[in-house]
Amino acid sequence: MIRNYCNGIICIGLLFVFTSHKAPSCDIQFGKAVRIARVTGAPGAEEYLKNPNTSHINYNVGGTDLGIIWEMEKGRYGIFFGDTYGRHHFEEPVVKGSDWRCNVLAFSGDEKLEDGLTINNMAVDASGQACEIIYGGKDMSGNGNWTSIPTGAVRANGADYVHYMNVRHWESSNWGTNYSAFYRSDDNGVSWKPVPRVRFGEDSNFGQVGFSKKDSFVYMIGTESGRQSSPRLARFRQKDIEVQDRYEYWNGLKKEWVHDEEKATNLFEDATGELSFIYHEKSRQWLLLYFNETRAEISARYAPELTAVWSQPQCVAHRNEYPRLYGSYIHPLSAYSDHIYFLMSMWHPYNVFLMRTEIKYMTGL
């Protein structure tokens, strides 16, 4: 008998005992995540984690979060971080001084992750510090543009795109946003510019998103801005990423793709934040990670098709071991591995860590 101690789901033999009669059989069991290394910031007192990047010294990145990672080209990965503070940052993010940047961007060619995730370089300004990519506004009145936070990124049709939300306030788990939109780079992340023809409203269920590509489509799973809504699904062909009218949304009631965003239905019912997903080649299943604020855990689910019934959640990391954790961004290399590598944030010390969780699955799926 294997027990998932985070949420009490029990696996007997190869079958899960779930409360929902619609859940699939137990094809995948996610292990307890372990922390491999720091990705950003200075080591804490009595911390013995590997820290290959010393970003506080090299790029004036002392505190940051998220770590949205995507494959730009074979063997090269982009990593977007959120609100970022300088080398004098300590413990908790506090808006202060000229070193506050709403977002920064790193690049990595590291494909051996057991000893940490090495950043090869970052997008920097003339002084050598990591620079802001998406203009934030920095109006903290609650009525303007406070900050612009990346939520997902993808390479499509030969260019790199980042989806971001323009945040008005952080006052609750349903954050106030003005809109969500895209920036694009045509030169492998050197320069970026806004995409004017794609915009999601402040109440859109695609205020925050994750991306994954399969066959000729880009799939986009989205939630409202915040951590309280359930996820919904959209798709478009790579060439149509800037033609929002051609996006299709999954309506689970009709079992069909529709062109009206308002008719998209929930993939499952659960409060979902900071998600990412991949098609796992070894198990031939879609794997999804997300932060659930109510359970204070990073949850994992799987499904044979994005439009199929998703498994019940399994906890891979919990606040009991990682206080004030959030964020769950899967490294693309995980698609071919028996482990899922992902980037997780912790509010204290407000930095990003590389995590690994083992997956077990039936052979011959």
pLDDT in tens, 37-78: 999 999 988 889 999 999 999 999 999 999 999 999 999 999
pLDDT in tens, 112-144: 999 999 999 999 999 999 999 999 888 877 778
Q: How far apart are CA 279 and CA 10, in angstroms?
A: 25
Half-sphere exposure of 305 (CA within 13 A, CB side): 6
DSSP string, 193-262: EEEEEEEEETT-TTSEEEEEEETTEEEEEEE-SSSSSPPEEEEEEGGGTT-GGG-EEEETTTTEEES-GG
Residues with Cβ within 8 Å of residue 113, at least 6 apart in sequence? 36, 331, 333, 341, 354, 356
Paired with 365 in beta bridges are none
How sure is the predictor about 91, in pLDDT bands with cuts at 50, 70 and 90? low
pLDDT in tens, 254-274: 999 999 999 999 999 999 999
Q: Is the pLDDT of residue 25 over 80?
A: no
Q: Indicate yes or no: pTM above 0.95.
A: no
Beta carbons of 185 and 160 less than 8 angstroms apart: yes
The predicted structure's pLDDT at residue 96: 62
Q: What is the largest CA-CA distance in the chain?
A: 59
Q: Is the pLDDT of residue 219 over 90?
A: yes
Closest-CA residue to 82 (of 60, 59, 66, 100): 66
Is the preceding omega at residue 349 within 30 degrees of 0, hence cis? yes
Half-sphere exposure of 108 (CA within 13 A, CB side): 25
H helices, E strands: number in the chain? 1, 25
Q: Is the pLDDT of residue 94 over 90?
A: no
Window from 97-101, 283-287, 336-340, 360-364 with minimum mean pLDDT: 360-364
Angle at the Cα of 294 (from 169 to 151), degrees rounded to 5?
45
Task: Spell out the domains of the chain, with CATH numbers in brackets.
Answer: 2-361 (2.115.10.20)
